[in-house]
Structure 1
Amino acid sequence: MPLRPLPDPEKAKPCILVVDDDEAVAWAIASRLGADFRVVALTDPRLAVAFACEEAPGVILCDIDMPGMQGDEVAFALSQEPRTAGIPLVYLTALLSPEQAPDLAGVFGEYPTVSKMADSAELLAIVASMLGLDGGDASP
């Protein structure tokens, strides 16, 4: 009797969607999270909305200032779709340092904001928090 194929361990990891029109930034953030999560980095916000509708990632990290579709427009589009309305979204900004990012609390509604310059530990902590993982432990 042949053995059943084992599940893909990458698919077992929570999916994180990173949306940034700057490909280098998107991949830099994705690479910092990739050891603990299955990360998809997209540079086109419209494709990101479509991806979120199809795949329902656990968390979306979304740039605020993008051509064609701003971060708040992405958030609004996702909030209007029942399949994506409950997905936690965190805004990414290059305008503030990691120390200044907490100053934006409440500026973008209920969406937290993290600096693109945040270190890996801070990125992991905010993603783990958004996923409801205990103590910021990023292990699924």
Structure 2
Amino acid sequence: MEFLILAIDDCEDHCLLMASFLESFGYQCVSALDGSTALQLAQRHQPNLILLDICMPKMDGDEVLRCLKQNPQTAAIPVVAVTAMAIGTRKRFLAAGYDDYLMKPFTSEVLEAILQRHLVVSPAT
């Protein structure tokens, strides 16, 4: 099964880095540089997982998450908070409704471990 990941970050270099890691793991990736584009892509592509930067202008990650969870078409998609905020804790992000938390800067190994935790292939029946 091929998985599609939506990577959202207002820094184009961060999106390119995430896409490079994801593609090296064998995943497909679509990217968005802002929250409104991300919401459109999430609805259109129905990704298997979303990597969502928290600090973005206009629409921050928490607002994007609320919109995703309010939309029945995107509510079940796992969302991983991606942030460089030192004050952010895994507990805070889980309480806010994120499925996991990834601290910047991160290694490809840490990213891959998070992906493997959330992208589970169902056994054939």
TM-score, with length taken from structure 2: 0.87
2:104 equivalent to 1:119: no
Deviation at 1:95, TM superposition (A): 2.6
Equivalent of residue 105 in structure 1, options 71, 75, 90: 90
Alignment gaps of 5+ in structure 1 = 1-11, 135-140
Q: Which residue of 1 aligns with 2:13?
A: 24
Partners of 1:123 and 1:133 lie apart in 2 by 18
Letter paired with 1:79: K
Asked whether 1:94 is paired with 2:84, we answer yes
Q: Give CA deviations for 1:56-110 in whole Å, capped at 9, x if unaligned.
A: 10000000010010000000000011010000000101234xxx9xx71220224
Task: Please tell me the root mean square deviation across aligned C-alpha atoms, in Å.
Answer: 1.8
Q: Which residue of 2 aligns with 1:62?
A: 52
Q: How many residues align?
A: 118
* 1:27-78 Cα deviation digits (max 9, x unpaired): 1111011122001121021011111011110000000010010000000000
Provide the secondary structure at the position in 1 that maps to 2:91: coil
When the two structures are superposed, what TM-score results if normalisation uses the length of structure 1?
0.78
Structure 2, gaps ≥5 residues long:
none
Match of 2:2 in 1: 13
Q: Which has the larger radius of gyration?
A: 1
SS at match of 1:34: helix
% identical equivalent positions? 36
Structure 1 moving runs of 4+ over 6 Å: none
2: CA distance between counterparts of 1:18 and 1:88?
12
